[in-house]
Amino acid sequence: MLANETIRVLYIDDDAEDYQMIRDMFVAMPQGRYTLEWVADYDDALGMMQKLEHDVYIVDYVLGEKNGLSLIENSFPKGCQVPVILLTARGRRDVDQQAMALGVTEYIDKADIRLPILERTLRYAIHNKRIESELRASEALFRSLVESAVDYIHLLDSSGIILRTNQAAISKSGYAQDELVGQPFTRFLPDASSLKIDEMLKTLVAQGSIRNEIEFVHRDSSRRTMECSWSTVDDAGRQRILVIQRDVTERKLNELKLMESLEREKELNALKSRFVSMASHELRNPLTTIQTNIYMLKNYQSKMDASAITQKLDKVEAMVHHMEALLNDVLSISRIQTGKVQFNPTLMQFDLYLQDLVEEFRGNAGKSHTLEFQNTVDKLEMPLDYHLMRQIISNLLDNAIKYSPAGSTITVKLERKDKDVVTTITDHGIGIPDEAQTTVFDPFERAGNVGSISGSGLGLSIVKQAVEMHGGSITFNSKVGEGTTFVLTLHQS
């Protein structure tokens, strides 16, 4: 109410003489400031008070067989929203305490009423109730903002116990309110985050506010990544901790996907670069050889004998086979990576299959290398993909022959270890440098010590992926200048 407004006062008392005393005091107050109405009957007073047509209510405690506290409680069941002054009897502390519980603004011992006291009590009652109303409205606005917020908001005590929480935290976390309130905040954090809280609270007390990221465990045991803002607040002289949590789980997942996408793009660009480098070397040299020999045949065939002509044609044919093998490797790795290669295992006797392959390569290697086959198992039947397994063994034997000196021995050993079937292929060649061992199975990767030895850098990549399609593994041990041992492990079901 404004300062120049007339304040309507309703006085409830069944004693006419007391009313006349109060009326005289009002007459002595500044004119126009107050208007006074009187009602003596309890029921009449109840009806008038419930209408809330007055600005201030002065209620006597003694109202015949009933009392003023009962009248106030029945008139304002949700508490006094307007200034109410209770007139009490001297020494009735119990009445004063009940009045406070009902929200009575002021109370006066009836025997002590004097004009200055009454006027001051009216002013204080109106002022205090206005402040109370403003605080209540402010609190309602703040609570509305908190409850409508999409962020989780918690109020903790100084030891980290949750005192209050908002609707977003309840509805999104899946916990009931009584499952959150009264519990340590750390109960809803995974162990890794819980261990950091004590140190974090010390920092918070020292700095007043901090921001960090933690995981918050929902009722369904799912973990959500939370961006947290922590601050200390004063609550009637007690230090509290306000925690505002924003769920950034989806944002983090999107960031991770973006990083993975960028990393894949980076790897793809590197792969393209290695492919161009390989293709420019492995295709240009054969094409140069083919071009040179065709030129010689076109221009000088009449001066060559049959042996020289055959030699030139053999070189062309060899280079065509080389490029065909290169293109087949590129197509193989592409088809495997895109899932276009079908895994079709059939039951086969692996020891005989491996022995036949070694014999085939022994014939192709001729006198340049010695191939030994050591077999400690007999009639080993396994479900294997015939064509993929041929690619695996052929690439490993090709590399062993290609990267080891003429006259050296290559050993293929087949044995069973527990439930695994282990095939090792050992050469005594140039070995793989340490710096190349982490990328040896990557497409188009070649070690720096291969020199002029031709190769696409695809063989071992094909081997690894074909082995994994069999549910097996491929590892190796290598030392530069001493040789390499590849270990193929297959699980025998």
Phi, psi of 469 (to 5 degrees): -65, -25
Residue of 251, 199, 196, 202 whose CA lies nearest to 226? 251
Write down the pLDDT at residue 63: 87
Under the banding of pLDDT at 50, 70 and 90, the label for residue 201 is confident
Instruction: For residue 324, give Cα distances in angstroms to 216, 329, 340.
Output: 57, 9, 20
Question: Is 70 exceeded by the pLDDT of residue 332?
Answer: no
Helices 284-300 + 249-282 axis angle, to 10:
20
If one compares 447 and 170, the residue with the highest pLDDT of the two is 170
Question: Is 60 exceeded by the pLDDT of residue 228?
Answer: yes
Write down the pLDDT at residue 209: 87
Q: How crowded is residue 249: how many other Cβ atoms within 10 Å of its Cβ?
A: 15
Is this model's pTM higher than 0.75 or not?
no
Mean pLDDT of 70-80: 86
Mean pLDDT of 358-363: 88
Write down the pLDDT at residue 104: 85
Write down the pLDDT at residue 2: 47
Give whichever of 2-6, 193-197, 311-315 has the largest mean pLDDT.
311-315
If one compares 146 and 45, the residue with the highest pLDDT of the two is 45
Question: Is 50 exceeded by the pLDDT of residue 374?
Answer: yes
Lowest mean pLDDT segment, chosen from 207-216, 281-290, 444-453: 281-290
Instruction: For residue 301, give Cα distances in angstroms to 298, 316, 396, 450.
Output: 6, 15, 40, 36
Write down the pLDDT at residue 175: 94
Under the banding of pLDDT at 50, 70 and 90, the label for residue 4 is low
Mean pLDDT of 58-75: 89
Residue pair 1/133 in contact (Cβ under 8 Å)? The answer is no
Write down the pLDDT at residue 467: 93
When the pLDDT of each residue in the chain is averaged and rounded to a whole number, the result is 85
